[in-house]
Amino acid sequence: MFSIGQLALTSMISHLFFIFITWRLIQTINFDPLIRKGRATEARLLLLFITIVIGTGVSRFFLEFLQWSQDLRLLF
């Protein structure tokens, strides 16, 4: 069982890790045809927000799955 501090540190590291992985994956997609000229800054900011949403969602899934797997021992 994690203490509150360990859980907070694990969650922060997990979120940052999955946001980084998602950012690297999104960079492989060519969005140039979809971006209007003169709007590159706004498009990069939108991609950053999308990255944060996806990375955080994946991180929450893994953190919840970790918690559920630890809670299974309470079943028996």
Could you give the CA distance from residue 42 to residue 47 in angstroms, rounded to a whole number?
9
Could you give the CA distance from residue 18 to residue 63 in angstroms, rounded to a whole number?
11
Please indicate, yes or no, whether the overall pTM of this predicted structure exceeds 0.75. Answer: yes
Position 58 pLDDT exceeds 90: yes
pLDDT tens digits for range 36-55: 888 888 999 999 999 999 99
* CA-to-CA dists, residue 70 to 22, 64, 66, 67, 74, angstroms: 27, 10, 6, 5, 8
Chain position carrying tokens 């694990």: 10
Of 26, 23, 11, 24, nearest to 59 (Cα)?
11
Position 1 pLDDT exceeds 80: no
Of 15, 50, 54, 18, nearest to 31 (Cα)?
50
pLDDT tens digits for range 11-41: 999 999 999 999 999 999 988 888 888 888 8
